Structure 1
Amino acid sequence: MKYKNILQIDDDYDDCDFFLEALEEVSTAAYTAIHNPIQALHQLSNNEIHPDLIFLDINMPIMTGIELLEEIKKKDTISDIPIIIFSTSITTEIKNKIKLLGAADYYTKPNDFGKLKTLLKDLILKKT
């Protein structure tokens, strides 16, 4: 397993619960959800959490996922953590911007539990 510590930054508690349920069925990776992007940036910057992979939502209050992605990529100590944008809708404009900012990839959140499990299995277990 390539990724052992997964961080999801998403203000939607239900989406995080759904994600965790699917993750637990396909992986033994440790999981942390942070619902406030400012708090996530603080904990990452202060080395309080150590994810191998970040799933980041775009549409959040206070700070958008794109703004958070920019901030993370500015910090040498955490800029190398792969970030996957994981949002309900991703326009072509956003896809272009997040690639320029250094996102590893992007996916639209599946509403189907089986599809989410397959996606997570492919992302977390099969990449070597």
Structure 2
Amino acid sequence: METSLSIFYLNNSHDDLASFKNVAEELGNKVLVFKGGYEMLQALRSQTTTPDMIFLDTHMPIVNGEEVLEVLKKSREWKNIPVVIVSGAFPKKLARHFFQMGANYLMKKHHNPNYKNDITQALQINLHKPQAAS
């Protein structure tokens, strides 16, 4: 990876957070992880710099990734931050829904053998064309 990115990652699973953080940092990026959507939004409000990219898990208690995505895309400060939605599966209707909400990319969770490649692809997304990992 040529450029180091500042990444926020939201997921309530300790294993998922650790796996993502290890791989993304191995690729040369700085990662802040959050176990709750409210905590991530609070960090965004208090940060002096904005992350280059945000990864959101969809299935979360209290404030989930979809709700965080909605807040991000409605805000003036954060609406242009690229957002990757992370989930175990993306039925076509759900994928369409996330793209309509403003997600830039869909990525499957780390329970697959190509996880490092999936993260690398997500980090190089074309922001003008929403897409899903293969």
TM-score, normalising length: structure 2 = 0.82
Tell me if structure 2 keeps the 8 A contact 1:3–1:53.
no
1:55 is paired with a residue whose SS is strand
Instruction: Spell out, residue by residue over 1:14-68, the C-alpha distance to the aligned partner (whole angstroms, 9 max, x if none).
Output: 101111222233x111011011101111221333562101111000000121111
| Superposition map of 1:41-120 within 5 A | 41-47=41-47, 50-112=50-112, 114-120=113-119
Aligned length: 126
Report the CA distance between 1:3 and its aligned residue.
5.1
**Mean Cα displacement is larger for which, 28-37 or 83-92?**
83-92
Q: Greater helix percent: which structure? A: 1
Report the CA distance between 1:116 and its aligned residue.
0.9
Tell me if structure 2 keeps the 8 A contact 1:59–1:87.
yes
In structure 2, relative to structure 1, the CA distance for the partners of 1:3 and 1:80 (3 Å cut) is farther
Report the AA paired with residue 42 of structure 1. Q
Report the AA paired with residue 121 of structure 2. D
TM-score, normalising length: structure 1 = 0.86
Which contiguous aligned blocks of 4+ residues in structure 1 show a shift greater than 6 angstroms? Answer: none
RMSD across aligned positions (CA): 2.2
Aligned residues with identical type, % of pairs: 25
**Whole-Å Cα distance in 2 between the matches of residues 44 and 116 of structure 1?**
27
Higher relative contact order (CA 8 A, sep 6+): 1
Structure 2 gap ranges (5+): 127-134
Structure 1 gap ranges (5+): none
Does 2:26 align with 1:22? no
In structure 2, relative to structure 1, the CA distance for the partners of 1:110 and 1:14 (3 Å cut) is closer
Give the match for residue 123 of structure 1: 122
